[in-house]
Structure 1
C-alpha cells in the first residue's frame, strides 16, 4: 500500500483530490457502481491498467474508506470489491465530470476501447423517473437502476426482472448523447431510440 500523498492545502477540493485524484481511482469507482466486482472482472473492464497498479489502487481505496473487500460464500469463494457509502457518494461527482468532459469526447479514435456499460452514466443523466431500464446496444446489453438510492446503479446483461422500460439504440446515437450533442428525450422524439415498456421511465420518455 503506497503512502497517501497530499497537496497539504487546507481546501476541501485539495483534500478530495488527495483521496481520489490518483490515476484510475475514479474509473474504478465507475466500475464498482455496478455492484460487487471480482479483481479479474475489474481488470478486464479497465483496459490499460497494469495488474500492479490496479492492486495498489484497490488497497489505497480500501484504506481511504471508499471500498471494502469480502469473500463470497461457497460455491463462489472468490473475493469481491464493492463501494462503501462514501465511495458511492462519488456518483454525482462522476456525473458532473462526465458532463464537463462531453466536449472532450469527440469521435471515437481507433485506439479507444469501449464497453457497452460505459454509456450507463450518460444515459442515466437523461432518464426521467425511477425504475429498472434495459438498454440494448450493438456492443452489448446492460441495465440501469434509475433513481436508486443504494445498491448497484447499473449492471451488465439484460435486466434481472421485467424492466420498466427497454431502450434500443445504435452506438452512433449513444455516442452523440455521450458528447452532449443530444439527450435521451430528444433522441426518442427523433426516432433514434426505440422505447417499450409500461413503467414510469418508458411513459415519461414517450411523452417528453
Structure 2
C-alpha cells in the first residue's frame, strides 16, 4: 500500500492502512453489491479521479481483497469482485454504515444517492436479515433515479441493484425515507404526507417499514 505504516503491530492499525485511504471504503461498498466493471465503478463513484480508482484497485488486489475476472463470452471488459477475504469486511462496513447513518438526517448540498449507496443502506436497515418463513414479498425501491430491490422470502431478506423482477410493491421515496427507517415517520404518515408513493400491494408497506430500521444516534441535532 502507498500510505504510511502506523508502526504498530495492531489489527486496527493494519486495517486502517489498507482501507483507510480516501475512496477505498466506497469502492469496497460498491463491490459488495456485486461484481463491477471499471466503467461501472467510475459511474457509481462520481467525482473519483480515474487514476485514484486504478491505484486503489491495484492496491486492493495486492492485498488479496479484490480480484479481476477475465471477460466472459461476449464481454470485453474485465470485472472486479471481492475475494473471500474482501467479503470478510462486510460486517465491519455494515457497522460503519449504520454508525454514519445515525448522524444523517438530510442530504448536504451536492450529495447524491447511488445504486450502491441505497442498496447498502437497505442491507444495513435489514439487520440480521431474518424474517418469518411464510413471508414472500418483492419490493422495488426507487429513490431519485436509483432503483434497488429487496426480497423477503424463505426466511431471509436479500437486497440488490435494479428493480425486482416481479415486484409486489414499488416504493418511490425521497430524502424522507431516512425518517421512515429511523422510526420517526410511521408507515401511515409516510403515505398520507406523500413522503412515499406506492404502486402495487400497499398492505405490504407496513411490513417494510416495521422490518427495516436504522435509528438516529442520540445527541445528533435535529
Q: TM-score range by the shorter chain?
A: 0.7 to 0.9
| Aligned position for 2:26 | 27
> 1: CA distance between counterparts of 2:170 and 2:186?
11
| Aligned position for 1:45 | 44
- Residue 162 of structure 1 is aligned with which of 143, 166, 175? 166
How far is 1:196 from its partner?
A: 5.6
Residues 37 and 82 of structure 1 are in contact (CA less than 8 Å); yes or no, is this contact kept in structure 2?
yes
How far is 1:97 from its partner?
A: 0.9
Question: Any gaps of 5 or more consecutive residues in structure 2?
Answer: 212-222
TM-score of the pair, normalised by structure 1:
0.76
TM-score of the pair, normalised by structure 2:
0.72
| Aligned position for 2:57 | 58
Shift in CA distance, 58/207, structure 1 to aligned 2, threshold 3 Å: closer
Question: Any gaps of 5 or more consecutive residues in structure 1?
Answer: none
How far is 1:168 from its partner?
A: 0.3
Residues 133 and 167 of structure 1 are in contact (CA less than 8 Å); yes or no, is this contact kept in structure 2?
yes
Shift in CA distance, 122/195, structure 1 to aligned 2, threshold 3 Å: farther
| Aligned position for 2:178 | 175
How many residues get paired?
194
Matched, 1:129 2:135: no
3-state DSSP of counterpart to 1:27: helix
Shift in CA distance, 83/116, structure 1 to aligned 2, threshold 3 Å: closer
Show CA shifts across 1:30-83 (max 9, x none): 111121111111011111210110000000001111110112223112101101
Q: How is 1:11-22 mapped onto 2 (pairs within 5 angstroms)? A: 11-22=10-21
Q: Which moved more, 1:59-68 or 1:103-112?
A: 103-112
Shift in CA distance, 187/125, structure 1 to aligned 2, threshold 3 Å: farther
Residues 35 and 153 of structure 1 are in contact (CA less than 8 Å); yes or no, is this contact kept in structure 2?
no
